[in-house]
Structure 1
Amino acid sequence: MVLTSTAVIEGIDADRPWVCAGEVMMLSARVGGTAEPGAVQRWVWPGAETGAELHPGPSLRWHAPVTPGRYLVRFQLCKDLGGRRVGVLAEQVAGIDVRACGQDEGQAHALRIEVTQQGPATFAFRAVSPHPATTYAWDFGDGSAAATTVPLATHAYAVPTPDVRVLTVRLSARSDGGEQTATAFVQVRGQPASDAPPRASLQLERVVARATDEGWRSEVRVDVPEGGDVTWDRVERLTVSWDDQVDTRTRPWREAITMEEDLGRGGFRGHVTVPASDVRPEVKQVIDFLHGRDATGEEVSLSWSAYKAGPVRPPPLPAERPPAK
């Protein structure tokens, strides 16, 4: 079902113009217009074993099929209509060329950008290529740019609202042999002003599961001060893997949080759970963001870590054997 909407998909960016069969391509969608309350962003493409594959969020780490050809990947803004029905608010299709590559045609020989997040909105970028360059021109995707003679750059993004933005970083590396280009994506969440009084406060307590299949449960208490009034809308769950890839899933807040007591003005006491099936070995952390608006229409956001893996421990050293007699 297609619905009318003021939200607009401005375009889809890819980190390369084509991809080798069996390799990975990064895709990111740019969304504009007026945000639709409760809208969900998702990617849809034909599956190898199922009718369709789905992935939530504004960005996608797409694994190209092993068979060369042209494949269509759709980005959609959707709204849950209830009863297993989904309405499509907007849609855009990206056509991707998947090619059969020889030994020297894969991504290992192409320029790429390594991204390291150093703070809530600060990132370090490194150009990686087997062909050294003499100048590097960086476009950070927010109107800022920089030129360096070394393959390194850092940038702090200014995001005035707590909303999540996915920005496209482009790099042009020049040398005597010519020019190489690369693209990467960063996900930035704005922070409220430090001197702004809190419109809601959070208390969190983790509960140890009694059995391994019960998952991870967190007791959540949200308080809204006198004179305030917050209407909560949705919970956005970010699942972060050890290679810093992020999967995003959004649900209505009353589906994501089991409320046990209404404290008034938008305050409540309840709990959230991370199912054991969602915590795969590659998952490093699960972060929840609770979104709502106060009486003036300003967005209010709270966040907590619903799951965090322990530090990776090195394997034990083998015991030394006594010298042979």
Structure 2
Amino acid sequence: MVKKSSTLRLDGPATMLSEEVVSSVVQQGAPANATSAYAAKASVKSTKVLTKLVSKKIQDVKDDWNWKGFGWSFYKSFLYPEAGGVSFRMPISQNFLTYFSRPWLPSINSSIGFYYPWSIGLFLSFSIPLQLYFLFLVRFAQSILHFLKIRKTPVNRVEYSIDVVQRMGVSFSWRYSKRYGYRRMVAPWGLWLPTIRIITRWLDSLAGLGKKLKTEWLISKTAGLGLTSSLYNDGLTGSVVLSLNSFFYDWGSWRGGKSSSYREKLKKMKEAERRRKLVEEGGVVGE
């Protein structure tokens, strides 16, 4: 028995389409529409998840942000008597407690300097404590000795003075001077900076002169006095540096986000100090 199908007449020349064909075409188009709707819903959902994730990360950064202020450094070259300058320092990595609590990570700082003979420069510096270089070398030597079984007893722990800041790093600078014009420079540098506590000890030994000068106030207002040296295209430079942190902590901590807590920040700062002491003593700090 042959089934008679009804027909549908369209405008134009004699065009005849079966209702079954039209129905099948409509049914075949349905999955495409459903897929598009599903893809649109999935896209909206993923966008919401991504937005929520980004918002959380931004909030975490705000909570971790704890502005430490700025400092000044004064330089007087001992290689070139006429040269000297001043630098305005803006720390970067120190403002993030999570980063600051890991002393093995490079310290990142920015600064703008004004020097004589007249020049101006913008600097971005990366540095780590010199103790870490020695620590890496000692650990490497220990591993080699242990591997070769030359020594059966462990190497004694290396101790470093916490009263002297010793750092090595590299700086990227953009400078302009009347003599050389605009220059971009990359220079390694080293810093040896006894803290002001050593100086006040010398003062204390001078008939109690340190007490008259209110050594505690001097300690809180001064970072250190020492030497710094850099290697540029023009040659080696060496300067006496006086580092002042007069405004570094006076303004207190700025809480970044609404959910940040002063107690939590204080706890993180204590943990950062503990980690730093472990590194200085040659210990291993975990995550």
Of structures 1 and 2, the one with the larger relative CO (CA 8 A, separation 6+) is 2
Same fold per superposition (TM over 0.5)? no
User: When you count strand as a share of all residues, which structure comes out higher?
Assistant: 1
User: When you count helix as a share of all residues, which structure comes out higher?
Assistant: 2
Q: Which has the larger radius of gyration?
A: 2
